[in-house]
Amino acid sequence: MTDRQGTPLAAYTTAANHNEVNTIETLVDERSAAVPAPERLLYDKAADADWLRKALGARGIELICPHRENRTRPPTQDGRSLRRYRHRWIVERTLSWLHNCRRTITRWEWYPELFEGFVHLACLYTILKRF
């Protein structure tokens, strides 16, 4: 999770065979107490789930993601909120900054705690590089 400038705020790692949509709520909950809850959450088409929109809406977070092409239910958001989606490149840029650290591109570590430690270390390196 990043802020508007692309500074990493929280990181949550899982196995590659887990669905990302099920971990979004955990990521929002895992942020530190110093980081306030976001008002809006930009995500890609993978998060187009009505149950997720309702769950985040109950927390006061607006989920902004485009609908999938094969969606059968009526759309839940109009084009006005999707205008914010054009700033998604900031999140992708932060991910590319994290991929500057070789150990975050491919998981070489046997233990998940080590990989998560390297992800947090890459986030810290990214934050320190900006000052």
Q: Is the pLDDT of residue 68 over 80?
A: no
Closest alpha carbon to 3 in 118, 90, 123: 90
Q: Which residues of 58-90 are buried (b: 16+ CB within 10 A; e: fewer)?
A: eeebebbbbeeeeeeeeeebeeeeeeebeeeee
Angle CA(31)–CA(29)–CA(57) in degrees, nearest 5?
120
Is 123:98 a contact under the CB 8 Å cutoff? Answer: yes
Closest alpha carbon to 30 in 125, 130, 123, 129: 123
What was the pLDDT predicted at 32? 67
Domains along the chain with CATH numbers = 20-129 (3.30.420)
pLDDT digits (tens, 9 = 90+) for 70-126: 777 777 777 777 778 788 888 888 888 888 888 888 888 888 889 989 999 999 998
Backbone region of residue 6 per phi and psi (left: phi > 0; alpha: psi in -120 to 50; beta: other values): left
Q: How far apart are CA 89 and CA 116, in angstroms?
A: 24
> Which is higher by pLDDT, 34 or 128?
128
pLDDT digits (tens, 9 = 90+) for 16-62: 787 888 888 888 887 767 777 788 888 888 788 888 888 988 988 88
Q: At what angle do helices 89-98 and 112-129 cross, to 10 degrees?
A: 110
State if pTM tops 0.75. no
